[in-house]
Structure 1
């Protein structure tokens, strides 16, 4: 019957969601932040470098108070 596919679908769904949660844990372990910044585009790379230069931590959100001047 149609319900015989449910265990197989559950197993497949479980194995497809594991990498997403694993990447969060690995980024948290390696980078100290659970999320990674996407630097595929030149603009995103420039913003990463700007944040690193201005504040020293590209993942910390800062306002104008973090900029010397």
Structure 2
């Protein structure tokens, strides 16, 4: 019957979801943030470098108080 594929389908879905779920846990442990920044475009890389220069940690967002007065 058609319902005999449900256990196999469930296993495939779980095995496909494990890498995505573990990425959040690993990023939280290593980086301190649940989400990894994408550095695919030049604009995103420049924002990453700007945040690292201003706050010494590009993953912890700070407000205007982090920008020094010129």
Moved over 6 A (4+): none
Higher RCO (Cα < 8 Å, 6 or more apart) = 2
Structure 2 portions without partners, runs of 5+? none
Aligned residues: 69
Structure 1 portions without partners, runs of 5+? none
What is the TM-score when the length of structure 2 is the normalising length?
0.90
Please provide the CA RMSD for this pair.
Answer: 0.9
Measure the CA separation in 2 of the matches of 1:32 and 1:8.
35
TM-superposed CA distance for 1:59, in Å, is: 1.1
TM-superposed CA distance for 1:5, in Å, is: 0.6
Q: What is the SS of the residue equivalent to 1:54?
A: helix
The within-5 A match list for 1:1-69 is 1-69=1-69
What is the TM-score when the length of structure 1 is the normalising length?
0.92
- Deviation sequence 1:6-38 (CA, Å, 0-9, x none): 000000000010001111111122222221100
